[in-house]
């Protein structure tokens, strides 16, 4: 018979089939005997059958007992007030359904003065209505293993000094929060999923702490983590994804540590930290958020070996007095790489900042920024604003004293500029070249003969961005098509001779302690102001024409200093020269004509009745010619001395 069934036993194929059948037969017999889905150690456990009361079994149990629930659904809510183990036949096989109610489906309750340890394994625990599915308080200690928790207002609530451990669990479909930890509660969560809850994944306040590893918090209706007060969370090898709010939101003095984590596809920020919150992120990634990381107030963050990419707005946004340290990290493919506003402190070292659509790093306020060894590549503009040029490593080693562009040895104009030693010269052959250059050293850029135009990459980016350390000599070049023709910040300096700055959003913008000298230049047809000076910037204009700008030809505020001599200021729609703040202005021998508002005015009532600004600086000068300014030559009338040979001064400085 065996010969007929298995062909010839002498053949190799026959022997293999016999062996395979015997192995399968042995496995089936073993499963029938062992029955792993049955209760373990049936002589050592209390078994609750379908239709029987779990609570009755708990009440009758001794400390340390194991209560085994057979396969099926148990419709009751229970209170566990002694140390024991409650075990089911597996998720989807055994379920406790508290049905509709307002109290917890499972409550761990300490009735005495000491802690109790409870284990719940291999169960589905569910219910509808208000309240929590699982609740533990006082000194209770609960370990949940291979369980599914769903429903009610909250999944798990832990308070007082209670402790909870979740291993291989799922917490889902709660109307509000999956896990709430308050007071000094502690949670340890491993290999678990917290998903598809109505609002928050984890809510922590007071001094609560949670440690998560190899877990996923995803697709919740609001924020994945919300921490306040002195709460703390530590995440290792976790995924935070697809939440409709922030990945992690910290307030107060709360703290978050992320190690080897992925924060992806959250609808708002990857991480938002406010107040005095702290964030430490190591070997982690934040991808596809509104802002990757956003810091407010006095929050602090440290990034090491991490990536922040594909943010809709900023990879990293730091505001107010917040602090950020970035080292050996990658900030890439965001609209803005690192955005700094206010009196922030930033240290950025040994990082790669690349392919950000607008800026690599931007700071226009009084930020304190240090660092170096950073590589920049493919950004709209690498550095913008009050930043040290030393932040940026050159694309090429600076060894050349003169380069004529175009030059096939260099892939871009920025690379050619970087290859020059301080004091070197970039000679431009006739033509139009896309710029968006960052200048952070002493360098000359000159037209080599014929018309040369440097054009911005877009109207959202400056054509030339001069940062701290820049000393630019620009000669015979036209600058057009940018948000600013020249954006000069920090202590940067520029001298322009025989240049044209035209058809930008703003012609030349100066801030901080920067300076510019313009000789025989034309500043024309810019959408806003021809020249704007703020901070303590200094502007000297000699034999120039400032015309056809859609707002003021020249505007100055703060403590800026402006001297204009032997120049023409004409046809500007917002007025010729507009002043407010404590600026100091000297006008000598200029022709100021045909401006749509005043020739020279302060930006305050009554000159501009609705203005909220005021002028308390100084204006001096003489021998200026005024004609055809639509609203008048000067305002206030005290400035009429500007049109006289003897001149005068209006000094309102304190």
Q: What is the pTM of this model?
A: 0.90
Give the residue from 354, 370, 391 where a domain finishes: 391
326 neighbors 338 (Cβ within 8 angstroms): yes
Domain count, the chain: 3
CA dist 392 and 360 (Å) reads 10
Residue 291 CB-density burial (10 A; 0-12 exposed, 13-18 middle, 19+ buried)? buried
User: Are both 552 and 474 inside the same structural domain?
Assistant: yes
In a domain? residue 479: yes
341 neighbors 316 (Cβ within 8 angstroms): no
User: Are both 338 and 450 inside the same structural domain?
Assistant: no
pLDDT computed for residue 20 by the predictor: 44
Q: Largest alpha-carbon pair distance within the chain? A: 131
In a domain? residue 370: yes
In a domain? residue 417: no
- Give the CB-side neighbour count of residue 108, counting CA atoms within 13 A: 31
CA dist 36 and 515 (Å) reads 81
pLDDT tops 70 at residue 410: yes
CA dist 495 and 442 (Å) reads 11
pLDDT tops 70 at residue 26: no
pLDDT tops 80 at residue 119: yes
Torsion of CA 170, 175, 177, 183, to 10 degrees: -120
pLDDT tops 70 at residue 339: yes
In a domain? residue 227: yes
CA dist 437 and 418 (Å) reads 10
Q: What is the mean pLDDT of residues 122-144?
A: 95
Q: What are the strands, taking DSSP E only, across 392-533?
A: 400-405, 420-428, 431-434, 437-439, 442-447, 452-455, 464-466, 471-475, 478-480, 484-488, 493-497, 500-502, 506-510, 515-519, 522-524, 531-533
pLDDT computed for residue 597 by the predictor: 96
Reduced to 3 states (helix: H, G, I; strand: E, B; else coil), residue 105 is coil
pLDDT computed for residue 449 by the predictor: 84
Of 628, 631, 554, give the one whose Cα is nearest residue 586. 554
Determine the straight-line distance between the first and last CA of the chain, rounded to whole angstroms: 117
pLDDT tops 70 at residue 496: yes
Using pLDDT thresholds of 50, 70 and 90, give the confidence band for residue 38: very low
Helix (H) or strand (E) holding 583: none
User: Are both 380 and 453 inside the same structural domain?
Assistant: no
User: Are both 30 and 165 inside the same structural domain?
Assistant: no
Residue 45 CB-density burial (10 A; 0-12 exposed, 13-18 middle, 19+ buried)? middle
User: Are both 482 and 582 inside the same structural domain?
Assistant: yes
pLDDT in tens, 169-180: 999 999 999 999
In a domain? residue 276: yes
Give the residue from 375, 391, 407 where a domain finishes: 391
pLDDT computed for residue 99 by the predictor: 81
Of 264, 159, 182, 160, give the one whose Cα is nearest residue 217. 264
Distances from the Cα of 470 to the Cα of 406, 423, 516, 539, angstroms: 23, 11, 11, 16
Q: What is the CATH number of the domain that holds 177?
A: 2.160.20.10
CA dist 119 and 165 (Å) reads 9
pLDDT in tens, 556-597: 999 999 999 999 999 999 999 999 999 999 999 999 999 999
pLDDT computed for residue 2 by the predictor: 30
**pLDDT > 70: percent of the chain:** 93
pLDDT tops 80 at residue 113: no
User: Are both 486 and 359 inside the same structural domain?
Assistant: no
Question: How many helices (H) and strands (E) would you count in the chain?
Answer: 4, 72
pLDDT computed for residue 528 by the predictor: 97
User: Are both 342 and 455 inside the same structural domain?
Assistant: no
User: Are both 202 and 343 inside the same structural domain?
Assistant: yes
CA dist 498 and 107 (Å) reads 82
- Give the CB-side neighbour count of residue 181, counting CA atoms within 13 A: 28
pLDDT computed for residue 364 by the predictor: 84
**Which structural domain, as residue segments, surrounds residue 611?**
444-651
In a domain? residue 22: yes
In a domain? residue 406: no
CA dist 393 and 372 (Å) reads 7
User: Are both 346 and 451 inside the same structural domain?
Assistant: no
Of 486, 475, 477, give the one whose Cα is nearest residue 454. 477
- Kindly give the residue spans of alpha helices, DSSP state H, lying in 35-156: 54-60
User: Are both 306 and 210 inside the same structural domain?
Assistant: yes
CA dist 197 and 215 (Å) reads 16
In a domain? residue 62: no
245 neighbors 223 (Cβ within 8 angstroms): yes
User: Are both 475 and 597 inside the same structural domain?
Assistant: yes
User: Are both 304 and 450 inside the same structural domain?
Assistant: no
pLDDT computed for residue 28 by the predictor: 37
């Amino acid at each position: 018979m065996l010969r007929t069934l298995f062909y010839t036993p002498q053949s190799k194929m026959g022997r293999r089939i016999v062996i395979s059948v015997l192995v399968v037969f042995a496995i089936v017999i073993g499963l029938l005997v062992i029955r792993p889905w049955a209760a373990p150690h049936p002589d050592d456990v209390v078994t609750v059958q379908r239709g029987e009361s779990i609570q009755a079994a708990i009440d009758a149990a001794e400390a340390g007992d194991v209560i085994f629930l057979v396969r099926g659904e148990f419709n009751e809510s229970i209170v566990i007030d002694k140390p024991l183990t409650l075990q089911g036949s597996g998720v989807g096989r055994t379920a406790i359904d508290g049905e509709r109610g307002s109290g917890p489906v499972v409550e761990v309750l300490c009735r005495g003065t000491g802690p109790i340890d409870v284990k719940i394994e291999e169960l589905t625990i569910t219910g509808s209505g208000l309240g929590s599915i699982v609740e533990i308080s006082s000194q209770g200690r609960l370990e949940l293993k291979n369980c599914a928790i769903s429903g009610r207002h909250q999944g798990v609530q832990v308070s007082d000094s209670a402790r909870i451990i979740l291993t291989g669990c799922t917490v889902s479909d709660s109307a509000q929060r999956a896990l709430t930890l308050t007071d000094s509660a502690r949670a340890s969560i491993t290999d678990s999923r917290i998903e598809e809850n109505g609002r928050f994944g984890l809510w922590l306040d007071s001094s609560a702490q949670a440690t998560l590893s190899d877990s996923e918090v995803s697709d919740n209706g609001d924020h994945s983590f919300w921490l306040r007060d002195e709460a703390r969370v530590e995440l290792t090898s976790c995924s935070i994804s697809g939440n409709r709010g922030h990945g992690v939101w910290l307030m107060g003095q709360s703290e978050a540590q992320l190690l080897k984590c992925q924060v992806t596809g959250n609808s708002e920020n990857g991480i938002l930290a406010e107040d005095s919150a702290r964030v430490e992120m190591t070997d982690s990634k934040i991808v596809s958020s509104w802002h990757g990381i956003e810091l407010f107030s006095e929050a602090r963050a440290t990034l090491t070996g991490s990536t922040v990419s594909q943010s809709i707005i900023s990879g990293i946004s730091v505001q107010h007095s917040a602090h950020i340290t970035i080292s050996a990290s990658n900030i890439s493919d965001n609209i803005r790489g690192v955005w700094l506003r206010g009196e922030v402190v930033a240290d950025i070292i040994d990082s790669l900042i690349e392919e950000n659509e607008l800026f690599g790093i931007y700071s226009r306020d009084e930020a304190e920024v240090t660092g170096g060894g950073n590589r920049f590549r493919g950004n709209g503009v690498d550095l913008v604003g009050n930043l040290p040029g030393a932040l940026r490593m050159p694309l090429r080693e600076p060894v050349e004293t003169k380069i004529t562009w175009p030059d096939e040895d260099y892939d871009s104009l920025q690379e050619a500029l970087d290859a020059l030693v301080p004091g070197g010269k970039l000679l431009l052959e006739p033509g139009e070249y896309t710029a968006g250059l960052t200048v952070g050293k002493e360098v000359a850029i000159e037209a080599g003969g014929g018309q040369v135009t440097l054009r911005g990459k877009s109207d959202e980016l400056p054509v030339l961005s001069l940062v701290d350390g820049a000393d630019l000599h620009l000669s015979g070049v036209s600058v057009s098509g940018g948000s600013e023709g020249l954006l000069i910040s920090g202590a940067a300096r520029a001298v322009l001779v025989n240049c044209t700055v035209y058809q930008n959003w703003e012609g030349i913008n100066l801030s901080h302690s920067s300076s510019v000298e313009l000789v025989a230049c034309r500043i024309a047809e810019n959408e806003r102001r021809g020249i704007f000076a703020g901070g303590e910037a200094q502007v000297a204009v000699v034999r120039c024409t400032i015309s056809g700008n859609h707002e003021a030809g020249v505007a100055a505020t703060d403590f800026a200093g402006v001297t204009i001599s032997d120049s023409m200021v004409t046809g500007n729609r917002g007025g010729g020269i507009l002043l407010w703040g404590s600026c100091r202005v000297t006008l000598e021998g200029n022709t100021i004509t045909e401006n749509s508002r005043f020739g020279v005015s302060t930006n305050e009532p009554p000159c501009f009745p609705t203005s909220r600004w005021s002028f308390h600086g100084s204006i001096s000068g003489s021998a200026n010619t005024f004609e055809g300014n639509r609203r008048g030559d000067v305002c206030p009338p005290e400035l009429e001395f500007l049109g006289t040979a003897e001149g005068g001064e209006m000094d309102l400085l304190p």
